[in-house]
């Protein structure tokens, strides 16, 4: 499905301009507002120069509080506030550590994860994060938290198989009961129920899979129509009748048709035409990997082609992509594979962590660090572009004619879908002041739907 290039270019130019300015919310603004109790409206009404003064003050205040702990280097802390021309977001584990160092409550820790770095709230299925939350609830230090994690790992049964079932609601109820208990009794409860702490949210993974299947459904529908139209320009119908098909078979029949043509000296079709028919067939009937099909559809306009993959162009592409902001990242096949195998990856990490805690073997620390890199959680920035694509396609299929299109109605459908998904995944609600949310909402601002990859393709030409 394509969209009006003029409308898309107009939106993209506007976003490119906004992206160069101090326009969107980020961790720097979130933290500065929190430290100085500035309302979101007052913060946005300030001139950039005034906001930068507050950021500098926020940096010095946090540097003073955290300096003695050696928690973070000063250059990194400056980057958290976008000072010196570079803005980075803290990592999830840094937010958890940071929350305890600053004496945050449970609610503040959750809010910092969801609205500070746009990640899911505390994973109640992850034994480490549960202990962080418990320590926040009881005002315990980071050192105490790390000791409790180590004690849990030393006490738990290394051979127990983690249950790959949804225990989220049950664990939250049990946590609320047990969080008022002493550390020893709290850990005893955790050890008794250790098989429930599988380390990830099955709900977020379920939502990801649901939307992946919906995208693939739309892709296959498009490809089947294109395949049919392509074959109408060939002798496929006649060939099918000659070979005993009562009606054309666009799956197995096409496979045989291509093989038959390629065996002939004069097939009547060029090799390029046969390749195109084969490619359409592969996409139309799930012969390609599902991840590849989904990623191609979501990011087709900004994916690098084979002839662009020399080192210089790749570096330029990477820098341009990074300049768009952390929220606008592109999933890869490897990334999605890690998301979908998180159960196995988390269980392996659990066993390495427990073995290291029990044995004290320093070599296992290296393995543990490496295994952590393979463990991925479904992010807000993964799922929202998928929701936007599905909402747009769903709305367009509901319209009988192009004249019926209403940008307001299409946008509202996306807003409703996003609200439901983000609630299920325990993520921050849609907000036009977030960079990612802004560009996804902008896709519905003109007379015809745009798609994120189309907008970003133009944006990357302009930066």
Q: Please report whether residue 430 resides in a domain.
A: yes
Q: Please report whether residue 222 resides in a domain.
A: no
Residue 100 near residue 142, CB atoms below 8 Å: yes
Give the end of a domain, one of 196, 216, 235: 196
Q: Please report whether residue 27 resides in a domain.
A: no
Q: Please report whether residue 358 resides in a domain.
A: no
Radius of gyration of the chain measured on its C-alpha atoms: 26
Q: What's the structural domain count of the chain? A: 2
What pTM does this model have?
0.86
Q: Please report whether residue 176 resides in a domain.
A: yes
Nearest Cα to Cα of residue 392 among 447, 438, 443: 443
Backbone angles phi, psi at 25, to 5 degrees: -70, 150
348's tokens: 């392996």
Give the end of a domain, one of 145, 178, 196: 196
Q: Please report whether residue 21 resides in a domain.
A: no
| Tens digit of pLDDT at every position of the chain (463 positions) | 445 545 778 888 888 888 777 778 899 999 999 999 999 999 999 999 999 999 999 999 999 888 777 788 889 999 999 898 788 899 999 999 999 999 999 999 999 999 999 999 999 999 999 999 999 999 999 999 999 999 999 999 988 888 888 889 999 999 999 999 999 999 999 999 999 999 999 999 999 999 999 999 998 898 889 889 998 888 888 888 888 887 888 888 888 888 888 888 888 888 888 888 888 888 788 766 788 888 888 876 555 444 444 444 444 455 556 667 667 777 888 899 999 999 999 999 999 999 999 999 999 999 999 999 999 999 999 999 999 999 999 998 887 666 677 888 999 999 999 999 999 999 999 999 999 999 899 888 877 778 888 888 788 777 6
Q: Please report whether residue 330 resides in a domain.
A: no
**Whole-angstrom Cα distance, residue 53 to residue 66?**
20
386's tokens: 């998928």
CA 409 to chain CA centroid, Å, is 26
Q: Is 251 helix (H, G, I), strand (E, B) or coil?
A: coil
Q: CB 423: neighbour CB atoms within 10 A?
A: 10
Residue 118 near residue 427, CB atoms below 8 Å: yes
**Whole-angstrom Cα distance, residue 443 to residue 454?**
10
Q: Please report whether residue 69 resides in a domain.
A: no
Q: Domain of 99?
A: 92-123+127-196
Give the end of a domain, one of 196, 216, 244: 196
DSSP letter at 112 equals: I
Q: Is 446 helix (H, G, I), strand (E, B) or coil?
A: coil
326's tokens: 């952390």
Residues in a beta bridge with 434? 25
Q: CA 446, 448, 453: angle at the middle one, nearest 5?
A: 90
């Amino acid at each position: 499905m394509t969209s009006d290039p003029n409308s898309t270019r107009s939106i993209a130019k506007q976003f490119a301009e906004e992206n160069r300015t101090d326009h969107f919310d980020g961790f720097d603004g979130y933290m500065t507002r929190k430290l100085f109790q500035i309302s979101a409206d007052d913060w946005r009404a300030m001139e950039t120069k005034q906001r930068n003064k507050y950021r500098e003050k926020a940096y010095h205040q946090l540097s003073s509080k955290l300096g003695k702990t050696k928690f973070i280097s000063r250059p990194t802390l400056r980057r958290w506030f976008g000072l010196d021309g570079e803005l980075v977001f803290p990592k999830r584990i840094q937010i958890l550590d940071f929350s305890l160092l600053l004496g945050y409550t449970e609610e503040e820790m959750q809010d910092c994860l969801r609205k500070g770095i746009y990640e899911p709230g505390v994973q109640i299925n992850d034994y480490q994060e549960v202990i962080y939350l418990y320590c926040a609830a009881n005002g315990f230090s980071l050192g105490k938290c790390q000791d409790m994690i180590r004690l849990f790992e030393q006490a738990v049964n290394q051979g127990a198989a983690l249950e790959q079932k949804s225990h989220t609601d049950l664990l939250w109820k049990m946590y609320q009961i047990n969080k008022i208990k002493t550390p020893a009794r709290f850990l005893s409860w955790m050890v008794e129920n250790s098989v429930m702490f599988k380390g990830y949210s099955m709900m977020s993974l379920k939502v990801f899979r649901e939307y992946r299947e919906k995208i693939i459904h739309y892709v296959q529908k498009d490809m089947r129509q294109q395949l049919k139209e392509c074959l109408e320009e060939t002798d496929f119908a006649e060939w099918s009748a000659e070979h005993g098909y009562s009606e054309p078979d666009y799956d197995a029949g096409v496979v045989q048709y291509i093989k038959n043509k390629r065996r002939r000296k004069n097939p009547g079709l060029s090799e390029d035409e046969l390749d195109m028919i084969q490619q359409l067939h592969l996409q139309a009937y799930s012969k390609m990997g599902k991840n590849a099909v989904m990623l191609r559809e979501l990011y087709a306009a900004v994916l690098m082609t084979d002839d662009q993959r020399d080192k210089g162009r790749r570096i330029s592409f990477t820098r341009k992509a990074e300049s768009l902001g952390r929220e606008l990242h592109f999933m890869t096949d490897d990334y999605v594979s890690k998301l979908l195998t998180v159960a196995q990856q988390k269980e392996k990490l659990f066993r390495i962590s427990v073995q290291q805690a029990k044995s004290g073997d320093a070599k296992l620390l290296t393995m543990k660090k490496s295994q952590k890199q393979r463990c991925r959680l479904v992010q807000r920035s993964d799922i929202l572009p998928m929701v936007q694509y599905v909402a747009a396609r769903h709305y367009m299929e509901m319209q009988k004619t192009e004249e019926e299109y209403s940008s307001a109605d299409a946008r509202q459908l996306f807003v409703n879908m996003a609200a439901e998904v983000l609630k299920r995944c325990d993520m921050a609600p849609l907000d036009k002041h977030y960079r990612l949310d802004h560009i996804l909402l902008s896709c519905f601002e003109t007379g015809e739907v745009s798609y994120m990859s189309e907008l970003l393709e133009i944006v990357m030409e302009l930066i």
